[in-house]
């Protein structure tokens, strides 16, 4: 039985800037798997998209796009790690994955379907203290 892959170190402290993806993904000796709860949004003042990361799980909610994702961190041989799970797009469930790479003091995410086609284009999310109400106007 193989060990479960650990989340990238940069998710442990979202406010710390990562120099490169390679450096950000290095595992520190004694690091625990997963992370404490972290929230990200596409805007700190008028968000339309929220991302919640806790432990090995990520949940993306984009109500204006009628899109949700929930998944667990994993890695397929020969590919970078990502969150694998399922999405609901306009009430239709489908397999999906969420890529996440550091960007400034936040994270750039892209949501892909089971065939690696884009469901939600890459967007940069910034750390926020907690989710805020979303207005789709």
User: What's the CA gap between 87 and 76, in Å, rounded?
Assistant: 19
* Structural domain contains residue 134: no
Say what the pLDDT of residue 132 is. Answer: 85
Let me know: does 99 contact 84? Beta carbons within 8 Å: no
* Structural domain contains residue 28: yes
Q: HSE (CB half, 13 Å, CA atoms) of 40?
A: 27
Structural domain range at position 79: 9-128
User: What's the CA gap between 83 and 100, in Å, rounded?
Assistant: 8
pLDDT per residue as tens digits for the range 55-89: 999 999 999 999 999 999 998 888 889 999 999 99
Tell me how long the chain is.
137
pLDDT per residue as tens digits for the range 80-134: 899 999 999 999 999 999 999 999 889 999 999 999 999 999 999 999 999 888 8
pLDDT per residue as tens digits for the range 107-120: 999 999 999 999 99
Q: How many domains does the chain have?
A: 1
Could you give the 3-state DSSP secondary structure of residue 77? coil
* Structural domain contains residue 49: yes
User: What's the CA gap between 128 and 106, in Å, rounded?
Assistant: 10
- With a CB cutoff of 8 Å and minimum separation 6, the contacts of 68 are 59, 60, 61, 62, 87, 88
Q: Which of 8-17, 18-27, 91-100: highest mean pLDDT?
A: 91-100
Whether residue 41 has pLDDT greater than 90? yes
């Amino acid at each position: 039985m193989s060990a479960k892959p650990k989340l990238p170190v940069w998710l442990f402290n979202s406010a710390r800037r990562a120099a490169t993806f390679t450096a950000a993904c290095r595992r520190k000796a004694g690091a625990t798997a997963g992370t404490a709860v972290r929230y990200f949004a596409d805007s700190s003042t008028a968000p339309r998209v929220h991302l919640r990361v806790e432990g090995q799980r990520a949940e993306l909610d984009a109500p204006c796009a009628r899109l949700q994702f929930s998944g667990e961190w994993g890695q397929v041989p020969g590919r970078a790690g990502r969150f694998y799970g399922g999405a609901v797009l306009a009430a239709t469930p489908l397999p999906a994955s969420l890529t996440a790479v550091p960007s400034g003091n936040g994270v750039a995410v892209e949501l892909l379907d089971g065939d690696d086609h884009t469901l939600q284009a890459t967007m940069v999310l910034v750390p926020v203290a907690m989710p805020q109400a979303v207005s789709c106007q």
